[in-house]
Amino acid sequence: MLNYKFIIPNSSFIIFTPRPLNMTWNKLLQPDLILEGSILTLTPDIIQQYQIEGLVLDVDETLVPMKSTEASAALRLWVEQTRLVVQHLWLVSNNLSDTRIGGIARSLDLPYILGAVKPSRRKLRQAVQAMNLPVEQVAMVGDRLFTDVLAGNRLGMFTILVEPIVDPGEAIRSYPVRSIEVLLSQVLGASIAPKSAKINKH
């Protein structure tokens, strides 16, 4: 029984104080670019400014609210405008539902990968290889630090953190998760401020 008391505090302490890992985590959790709005604020100007030729897009809460089965009119328009300035657009989701994620991808006429298990790099690498572009010219765009940004940075992609698109009823559930991630990333040494300061078009 006494051992129990020792084991629990010690193990949780170890998780949060891996000092030799601080620099690594700092880099891995730091997006290259943070947008103050949703993906709809990622304009052709910004994409060209950073010489991005390919985009890998998270789906849930990056493109659509969590349970949504349809792309909004605004998203369709964004995809059409974005196609004009990048060579490739892929959807890479941790979700396993071909009905829902596949349906959204097909409605947007975009290739997609399910069950990516981000922050694993494997499925992101598959998308980047299919694009046949240098990895640094491909941006990973997502709403989560510990899946999208971490996976993209691990692969050497350009990483863009966007504000989540959330159903009003889901906001209470969703935002604390993201807030905890931001807080934890700061504890681990990431500033969660853009590496390149706020976007200036000129």
Residues at the site binding Mg ion, with contacts judged by CB under 5 A: 58, 60-62, 143
Q: Which one, 30 or 93, has the nearer CB to Mg ion? A: 93
Nearer of residues 47 and 161 to Mg ion, judged by Cβ? 161
Least distance (Å) from Mg ion to the CB of residue 60? 4
In 40-170, which ranges are continuous DSSP H helix?
Answer: 44-49, 73-83, 103-108, 122-131, 150-155
Tell the smallest beta-carbon distance from residue 48 to Mg ion (Å): 25
- Give the DSSP H or E segment for 34: strand 33-34
Q: Which is nearer to Mg ion, 23 or 67 (CB)?
A: 67
> CB of residue 101 vs Mg ion: minimum separation in angstroms?
11
Task: State the CB neighbour count (10 A cutoff) for residue 112.
Answer: 21
Which of 135, 171, 172 minimizes the C-alpha distance to 154? 135
Which CB sits closer to Mg ion, 22 or 184? 184
Give me the least distance between CB of 73 and Mg ion, in Å please: 21
**Residue 85 to residues 8, 52, 91, 197, Cα–Cα distance (Å):** 52, 9, 17, 23
CB-CB contact of 121 with 56 (8 Å):
no
